[in-house]
Structure 1
Amino acid sequence: MPRKQPPPHSPWAAWPTPAKPVERVTLAFDAGDDDAVPDNASAGTRLDDTLFIAGDEHGVIDRLTFDGRNWGRHTVFHLADLLPLKDAEEEADLEGLAAAMIDGEPWLWLTGSHARTRPKPEKFAGETIDLDKLADLKDTRARCLIARIPLVRDALGWAPVAKDDERRAGMLKQTKHGNALMKALARNPLIAPFTEIPAKEGGVDIEGIAVAGNRVALGMRGPVVATHAVLIEATVEADEEGALHLEGAPCKRLLAMEGLGIRDLKRHGDDLLILAGPTTGLSGPVAIYRWTDWANDPPQDARKVRLHRPERLIDLPFGRGEDHPEGLALWGDDAILVICDSPSDTRLHEARKSLVADVFALPA
């Protein structure tokens, strides 16, 4: 008698077959002998002929531009030259980039993870670790970063600058224990318990940013609450000096995505594309979801949480311990570029200073 197959939604049903890329794009980081190819890419965004990429270990933004044939002409921009960072030498842990127009002018928005971190056991000598040292969580202030930076044209493409006429780069003020967003999360009854937990262990870990006017959406890799991912939405205003301020309490929205957390966000017209993947560091299912008409569906009440069910669009391939989809960039109107963290040898070419990313078609 043939073995009975599990129903489609049973715990034993297989994940869908991953989609195949329609194109592979080589990103050339070839500006100089000291340029290193980022093996920890965590976010990306594209504006016309310019692609910005951020890593989760350095306080820089990498820029590549298109010359008609290739993506290269690598330029590095240091955040310390653009923003009044409190801890310029500390790891900013950039986890989200978004290019957005405000009053007809382009801006680059970015976010840090806002995450606490635990020392990795592998970094301790020997196999016996002092309990107090392993329990000592690293401060979050350098990672508590939400900022916007004016973009202007230079000889190669779009470039971030600290000031452009009346436009000024600015950020949420960094305080002793983080910033205004972390202060609000620490007081929120849903999120507060997770602010004391490290990233990748279920604690607060922001990945992805999307902007609609003064409305800023931040994805949360963690926590996942009752199998639902959390999307934070806040109203952000700038003063005359460019500094950013939160207006009112941030809203929380729950997304049903089969237990996956948010790994990146991209606004696509009025829709919101969501890269979803594991909250912890394991190699597991990764998919792109679509929240149709998100831009016209603002949150209504910070004291209530609304449940949303975005459409699962694309199941992405992933490796075991490598090739983890981490960042998105719109690739025209009907495709999206997927950038991988921990790239395999088939993607990362140190000698040629290049990284290969995949392009996937977006269903209508």
Structure 2
Amino acid sequence: MTVRHDRAGWPALTQPSGHLLLQLAPAADGEDDPILDLSAAVRIGSTLFLGSDEGVAVERLSWNGERWVSAGRTSLIECLDVASGEEADIEGLAEDDGWLWVLGSHARTRPKLKKRDDERLDLTVYADLKDTRARCLLARLPLAADSVEPRLLAPVANAGDRRAQVLKRTKHGNLLSRALAKDPLIGPSTRIPAKEGGVDLEGIAVCFPRVALGMRGPVIQTYAVLLEFEVNQKGGDLKIDGPVYKRLLDLEGLGIRDLKRVGDDLLILAGPTTALDGPCAVYRWRDWAGNPPEHKHAVRLHRPERIVELPFGRGDDHPEALAVVEQDGARQLLVICDSPAAWRVDSDRRSISCDVFDLNVLR
């Protein structure tokens, strides 16, 4: 079992109330295995949706009384105007009023650095940043009853008078990335790769027409940034209605890794902005829904309550996604790790073990 680290000076780790198994379908030929790269989650009724930072698909799972098991995979290509082979880098999933919201990282990335035969590195290749357009994705898809198992939900292109919608994409990104590039505070970070201080969106919460997006990076001095704006529909697309607000959160130097709306409260998964190991925690912003942004530039500093001290590994087990599940009438917070430790993964059964925390106790 991986050794977990508790940094001196930080509170003791919160012990999970148990574990849940997630069992995924095998990856398609030539595709990366999503079980090792899960980055977003949301439970809607009897369906648990998972997103991966590889490809453009959403996993669907159903509860069988013991574990969450695969109920199929939905490619966003079936619902949205996205190209085959794109890597949307899905970093946020949310539900609001029968819609599944999907967020890409909007991040610049470098090619994976490969050594030559003589062990030297070609820095000219490393300096060539990947096109960010594929990851500039903000969309909502209508949910419909599954044709085979009606108790489950599936994202579709059309459901009655509802149509899948996406924030209009441009040649190099979308309308949000364009707004961020022009922003005096965030703009400089749009030209830097994620994990190096660049823009990296992770986590989405919706209280329609209000949308909140978490920023893993940049962190401004020691404050995390939450983006908020309103959207409306223009033709078949989503449109940002009004300004993009920036809200500063004191998360003790950590960036935002995921968001989950629970009633009027907002749960915030926080962790290191880089790929380094480090403290991770869950914060609660009470009555976030009743506390909209007030001004574009003169902002309040918000200090959400730190409620869970999460375990983390060394070189693995990085808490990446949250979902609220129910078992025997009790609400539990499911925490999914990216790069899961070896003890969590059963390759033969295609399952991953995830920590759960009792939300009723945390109230």
- Report the counterpart of residue 86 of structure 2 in structure 1: 90
**How far 1:130 sits from its partner (Å)?**
3.2
- How many residues are matched? 347
Deviations 1:96-144 (A, max 9, x none): 000111xxxx110010000000123246554323333221111100000
- Rounded to whole Å, the distance in 1 between the matches of 2:116 and 2:42 is 36
**How far 1:37 sits from its partner (Å)?**
5.3
Which of residues 215, 219, 222 in structure 1 aligns to 2:217? 222
Deviations 1:122-180 (A, max 9, x none): 46554323333221111100000000000111133011000001000010121111000
Map 1:108-187 → 2, pairs under 5 A? 108-122=100-114, 126-154=118-146, 155-156=148-149, 157-187=152-182
- Rounded to whole Å, the distance in 1 between the matches of 2:79 and 2:233 is 16
Which of residues 276, 284, 288 in structure 2 aligns to 1:282? 276
- Report the counterpart of residue 245 of structure 1 in structure 2: 239
**How far 1:290 sits from its partner (Å)?**
0.5
Matched, 1:49 2:46: yes
Aligned residues of 1:172 and 1:245 also touching (Cα < 8 A)? yes
Deviations 1:65-111 (A, max 9, x none): 113443114310001111112x432211000000111xxxx110010
- Report the counterpart of residue 340 of structure 1 in structure 2: 337
Counterpart code for 1:18: L
- Rounded to whole Å, the distance in 2 between the matches of 1:315 and 1:122 is 36
- Rounded to whole Å, the distance in 2 between the matches of 1:291 and 1:67 is 33
- Rounded to whole Å, the distance in 2 between the matches of 1:88 and 1:95 is 19
Which of residues 217, 232, 235 in structure 1 aligns to 2:230? 235
Q: Which has the higher mean CA deviation after the structures are superposed, 124-133 or 112-121?
A: 124-133
**How far 1:48 sits from its partner (Å)?**
1.4
Aligned residues of 2:27 and 2:34 also touching (Cα < 8 A)? no
Q: Where does the alignment leave 5 or more consecutive residues of structure 1 unmatched?
A: 1-11
Which of residues 306, 317, 320 in structure 2 aligns to 1:312? 306
Counterpart code for 2:285: W
- Report the counterpart of residue 348 of structure 2 in structure 1: 351
CA change 1:123–1:215 in 2 (3 A) is farther
> What SS is found at the alignment partner of 2:71?
strand
CA change 1:41–1:32 in 2 (3 A) is closer
**How far 1:30 sits from its partner (Å)?**
4.3
- Rounded to whole Å, the distance in 2 between the matches of 1:166 and 1:319 is 47
TM-score by length of 2: 0.91
> What SS is found at the alignment partner of 1:331?
strand
Counterpart code for 1:56: D
- Rounded to whole Å, the distance in 2 between the matches of 1:146 and 1:33 is 25
- Report the counterpart of residue 184 of structure 2 in structure 1: 189
- Rounded to whole Å, the distance in 2 between the matches of 1:115 and 1:32 is 24
Which of residues 194, 198, 206 in structure 2 aligns to 1:203? 198
**How far 1:297 sits from its partner (Å)?**
0.5
> What SS is found at the alignment partner of 1:92?
coil
- Report the counterpart of residue 315 of structure 2 in structure 1: 321
> What SS is found at the alignment partner of 1:296?
coil
Deviations 1:195-234 (A, max 9, x none): 0000000100000000001100000000000110000001
CA change 1:126–1:83 in 2 (3 A) is farther
Deviations 1:283-310 (A, max 9, x none): 1000000011000111112233331111
% identity of equivalent residues: 54
Aligned residues of 2:80 and 2:157 also touching (Cα < 8 A)? yes
Q: Which has the higher mean CA deviation after the structures are superposed, 52-61 or 16-25?
A: 16-25
Q: Where does the alignment leave 5 or more consecutive residues of structure 2 unmatched?
A: 1-6
Counterpart code for 2:344: R
Aligned residues of 2:256 and 2:271 also touching (Cα < 8 A)? yes
CA change 1:293–1:196 in 2 (3 A) is same
- Rounded to whole Å, the distance in 2 between the matches of 1:337 and 1:247 is 33
- Rounded to whole Å, the distance in 2 between the matches of 1:275 and 1:15 is 16
CA change 1:33–1:250 in 2 (3 A) is closer
Aligned residues of 1:98 and 1:108 also touching (Cα < 8 A)? yes
Counterpart code for 2:134: A
Aligned residues of 1:330 and 1:337 also touching (Cα < 8 A)? yes
> What SS is found at the alignment partner of 1:198?
coil
Which of residues 95, 98, 104 in structure 2 aligns to 1:99? 95
Aligned residues of 1:249 and 1:302 also touching (Cα < 8 A)? yes
- Rounded to whole Å, the distance in 2 between the matches of 1:178 and 1:123 is 31
Which of residues 247, 255, 260 in structure 1 aligns to 2:249? 255
Aligned residues of 1:108 and 1:151 also touching (Cα < 8 A)? yes
> What SS is found at the alignment partner of 2:86?
coil
